[in-house]
Amino acid sequence: MPSRHVETCRFEVDRKRIDSVNKRLRPSSFLPRNGASGAPETSVIGIDSLSEEDIWRLGSLYVAPPGRKLKGRADFSAATVYELSLDLIDDNEIEGRHSNIVDWPEDRGQWIDIAGQLALNSRFSRNPEV
């Protein structure tokens, strides 16, 4: 089933994964972790119809580790994910807005190309509170 989200975002807490010159997240920010099933997945939040304030509220509440502030986020469309031959799987976490980017290729050598494309095709916003 396709994701119900059209626009998604990836939050970042690490300053080193922000390219402040070109104003975007660095590719390493989009690389997947090993999910609960062992399959690689990148966690994102659906942001359709949310205000800027609500997007940052969700990130601060559910994504930022205790004691750390979000530094920025990258917004990109679900279509970008599908164009890279990946999929978005929704779950009911984070007020029903959480999804994982899945179907990463078995060849890990291809992951950096995908992460690089996501970095180039997203729009960066700095957290106004930092």
Partner 1 sequence: MDLNQLLEEVKLLPEEDLEILAEKVSEIRDSRQKSQISRLRSDLDEVAEECSARNWDGIGAEPVSEDAVSYGRKFIDLLSSRSIDFADANVGVSATPTGEVFFDWPKRNSIFMVQIFSDGTVVYSSVGGSRKFKAKLKFDEIVSSSLFEDLITFLRS
* Residues near partner 1, by CB under 8 A: 13-14, 16-17, 19-22, 24, 26-29, 31-35, 40, 43, 63-65, 68, 108-109, 111-113, 115-117, 119-120
82 residue type, one letter: Y
For residue 110, give both structure tokens.
């291809």
Instruction: Tell me the closest approach of the beta carbon of residue 22 to partner 1, in angstroms.
Output: 5
Could you identify the residue written with the tokens 């390219």? Answer: 19
Instruction: Tell me the closest approach of the beta carbon of residue 49 to partner 1, in angstroms.
Output: 24
In whole angstroms, how large is the CA radius of gyration of the chain? 14
Residue 8 or 29: which CB sits closer to partner 1?
29
Counting every residue, how long is the chain?
A: 130
Report the 10 Å Cβ neighbour count for 126.
Answer: 14
Residue 20 or 85: which CB sits closer to partner 1?
20
